[in-house]
C-alpha cells in the first residue's frame, strides 16, 4: 500500500486521503492534458530543452534553511516558463519533473498523480496574470510587471497550499483552517520574502535576458544550496567534535572553545555567569563491584538527569572521567545555588536501578560565579573545582561555593 499512497500521520484516514487524491487527480487530468497538448505553441527546441532540464534538476534540489523551510530550485524556472511562454511549457516541465522524482525518489504513485494535478491546476489558475500582462497596456510597464509577477506567484501558492493543506488536515486529523495558515505563511515566515524575491528575480531576468537570465538565477540558487549544504555539514562535524561519545553531552573541547571565545564576549557585555563543577562520588566502587558497564550506565544516567534539570540556555559538559561542568549563562551565585539544589534533588528522586538493584552513588558540587569570584574564565573553573573538593571533604551529596574557600 505504501507504494501506492504515502501518509505521514496515523494512517487512520488513508482511504479518505486516497479518495481525495484521486478526485483532485481526475479533476485536473482533462484540463491539464488539453493545455499540455494544445495550449499554445512551445518555444524553440533549445529553450524547451533547457527549461525542461533545469526543472527536472531543480526538483531534486532544495535550499533548506535553519528553520527547516526550503526553496526548491525548480520554482523560479516554472514561474519563468509560465510568464514567458505560457502554461503549456510550465505544465510540461512540472509534470516531467514530478514523474522523474517518482522514479528517482521512489515516491508513492498516487501521491505523484496528485502532485502533478495540483501543480498543473495551480499553474492554469495563476496564468490569468500572464494573460493580463500580455493583453493590457499596464502589463508592459516594468513596475507593474513586478506586481503582476508577484500576483502570479501568490495565486499559485494559494491554490497549491489549498490542495496540500486539505491532504495534510486529513492525514494529521487537524482542522483545515489551522493547517492552511501554518503551511502558507506561519511555518515559513522567516523565508517567505526571500522566496518571493528569488522567484520574482527569476521571472524578470528570464523575460529580459532569455535563457541567460533563468540560467543565472538557477546557478545563483544552486550556489546558495551548496553554501548551506557546506555550512550544515560543517555544523554537524563541529557538533561531533564537541560531543562526548558516551553521554552525548558536550566535551572538554567545547569548554576550551567557550573559554577562548564566548567568555570574552560575556565579560565584555558585563553579564553574570556561573560555573557548576560536579564530581561523582563512589564511581570507583561501582566499577569494582558491578563492572565498568554499570559505571558507564551511571555516567549516562547522571548526564540525563543534568539535561533534564538545567535550562535550555545552560551548557552541560562532561569534563573528563567522572567530572561534569554546567555553564549557567546570565546566572549569579544565588541562582546557581538553586540549580545545584535542583540537581541534587533530582538525583535523589530518580535513583539508578540495574537488574532490580539500586546503584549507590552521590555527587559533590562546587560553584563559582563571574564576576563575583573571578573575571578570568579558567580561574572560574579552577575555583569551582576547589569548591567541589570542599563539598567532597564535607561528606559529598552537597554543594559548596567559592565563598567557602
Judgement on whether residues 267 and 356 belong to the same structural domain of the protein = yes
Query: What is the average pLDDT score of the chain?
Result: 90
Judgement on whether residues 346 and 202 belong to the same structural domain of the protein = no
Number of domain units in the chain: 2
Instruction: Find the CATH number of the domain harbouring 147.
Output: 1.10.1760.20
- 148: in domain: yes
Judgement on whether residues 236 and 260 belong to the same structural domain of the protein = no
Question: Which of these three, 220, 240, 260, is where a domain ends?
Answer: 240
Judgement on whether residues 92 and 236 belong to the same structural domain of the protein = yes
Beta carbons of 401 and 339 less than 8 angstroms apart: no
Closest of 302, 300, 297 to residue 280, by C-alpha: 302
Find the helix packing angle between 74-85 and 192-209, rounded to 10°.
40
What is the pLDDT confidence band of residue 388, given thresholds at 50, 70 and 90? very high
- 2: in domain: no
Judgement on whether residues 168 and 24 belong to the same structural domain of the protein = yes
Distance CA(99)–CA(350), nearest Å, equals 54
Closest of 372, 363, 360 to residue 392, by C-alpha: 363
Q: Note the pLDDT of residue 271.
A: 80
Judgement on whether residues 66 and 114 belong to the same structural domain of the protein = yes
Least confident of 63-67, 316-320, 342-346: 63-67
Judgement on whether residues 25 and 61 belong to the same structural domain of the protein = yes
Give kind and range of the element (H or E) at residue 120.
helix 109-126
Judgement on whether residues 228 and 87 belong to the same structural domain of the protein = yes
Beta carbons of 216 and 53 less than 8 angstroms apart: no
- Kindly compute the dihedral angle of the four CA atoms of residues 210, 211, 214, 217, in this order, to the nearest 10 degrees: -110
Least confident of 122-131, 235-244, 329-338, 394-403: 235-244
Instruction: Please tell me what DSSP assigns to residue 243.
Output: B
**pTM score above 0.85:** no
Q: What are phi and psi of 370, to 5 degrees?
A: -100, 135
Q: Is residue 66 over pLDDT 80?
A: no
Question: Which of these three, 201, 217, 240, is where a domain ends?
Answer: 240
Judgement on whether residues 233 and 280 belong to the same structural domain of the protein = no
Judgement on whether residues 217 and 134 belong to the same structural domain of the protein = yes
Question: Which of these three, 240, 259, 279, is where a domain ends?
Answer: 240
Judgement on whether residues 120 and 267 belong to the same structural domain of the protein = no
Judgement on whether residues 193 and 48 belong to the same structural domain of the protein = yes
Q: Note the pLDDT of residue 68.
A: 66
Q: Note the pLDDT of residue 34.
A: 85
Q: Which domain holds residue 197?
A: 14-240
Instruction: Find the CATH number of the domain harbouring 275.
Output: 3.30.70.270
Q: Is residue 318 over pLDDT 80?
A: yes
- 133: in domain: yes
Q: Note the pLDDT of residue 186.
A: 86
Residue 245 neighbours by CB distance under 10 Å: 8
Amino acid at each position: 500500500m505504501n507504494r501506492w499512497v504515502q501518509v505521514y500521520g496515523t494512517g487512520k484516514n488513508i482511504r479518505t486521503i486516497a479518495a481525495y487524491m484521486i478526485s483532485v487527480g481526475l479533476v485536473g487530468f482533462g484540463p491539464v492534458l488539453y493545455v499540455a497538448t494544445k495550449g499554445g505553441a512551445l518555444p524553440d527546441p533549445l529553450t524547451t530543452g533547457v527549461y525542461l532540464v533545469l526543472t527536472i534538476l531543480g526538483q531534486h534540489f532544495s535550499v533548506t534553511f535553519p528553520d527547516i523551510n526550503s526553496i526548491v530550485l525548480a520554482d523560479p524556472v516554472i514561474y519563468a516558463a509560465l510568464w514567458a511562454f505560457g502554461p503549456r511549457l510550465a505544465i510540461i516541465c512540472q509534470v516531467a519533473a514530478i514523474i522523474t522524482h517518482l522514479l528517482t525518489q521512489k515516491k508513492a504513485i498516487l501521491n505523484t498523480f496528485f502532485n502533478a494535478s495540483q501543480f498543473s491546476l495551480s499553474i492554469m489558475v495563476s496564468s490569468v496574470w500572464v494573460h493580463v500582462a500580455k493583453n493590457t497596456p499596464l502589463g508592459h510597464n516594468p513596475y507593474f510587471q513586478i506586481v503582476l509577477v508577484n500576483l502570479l506567484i501568490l495565486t499559485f501558492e494559494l491554490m497549491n497550499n489549498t490542495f496540500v493543506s486539505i491532504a495534510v488536515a486529513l492525514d494529521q486529523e487537524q482542522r483545515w483552517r489551522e493547517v492552511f495558515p501554518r503551511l502558507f505563511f506561519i511555518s515559513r515566515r522567516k523565508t517567505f520574502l526571500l522566496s518571493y524575491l528569488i522567484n520574482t528575480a527569476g521571472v524578470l531576468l528570464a523575460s529580459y535576458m532569455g535563457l541567460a537570465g533563468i540560467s543565472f538565477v538557477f546557478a545563483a540558487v544552486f550556489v546558495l544550496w551548496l553554501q548551506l549544504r557546506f555550512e550544515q555539514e560543517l555544523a554537524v562535524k563541529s557538533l561531533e567534535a564537541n560531543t562526548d561519545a558516551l553521554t552525548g553531552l558536550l566535551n572538554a573541547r567545547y569548554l576550551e572553545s567557550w573559554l577562548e571565545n564566548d567568555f570574552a564576549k560575556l565579560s565584555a557585555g558585563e553579564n553574570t555567569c556561573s560555573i557548576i563543577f560536579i564530581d561523582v562520588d563512589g564511581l570507583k566502587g561501582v566499577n569494582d563491584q558491578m563492572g565498568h558497564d554499570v559505571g558507564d550506565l551511571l555516567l549516562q544516567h547522571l548526564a540525563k538527569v543534568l539535561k533534564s534539570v538545567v535550562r535550555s540556555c545552560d551548557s552541560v559538559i562532561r569534563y573528563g572521567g567522572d567530572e561534569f561542568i554546567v555553564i549557567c549563562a546570565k546566572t549569579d551565585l544565588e541562582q546557581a545555588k538553586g540549580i545545584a539544589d535542583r540537581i541534587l534533588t533530582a538525583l535523589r528522586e530518580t535513583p539508578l536501578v540495574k537488574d532490580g538493584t539500586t546503584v549507590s552513588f552521590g555527587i559533590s558540587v562546587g560553584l563559582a560565579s563571574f564576576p563575583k569570584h573571578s573575571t578570568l574564565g579558567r580561574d572560574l573553573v579552577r575555583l569551582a573545582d576547589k569548591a567541589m573538593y570542599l563539598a567532597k571533604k564535607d561528606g559529598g551529596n552537597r554543594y559548596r561555593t567559592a565563598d567557602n574557600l
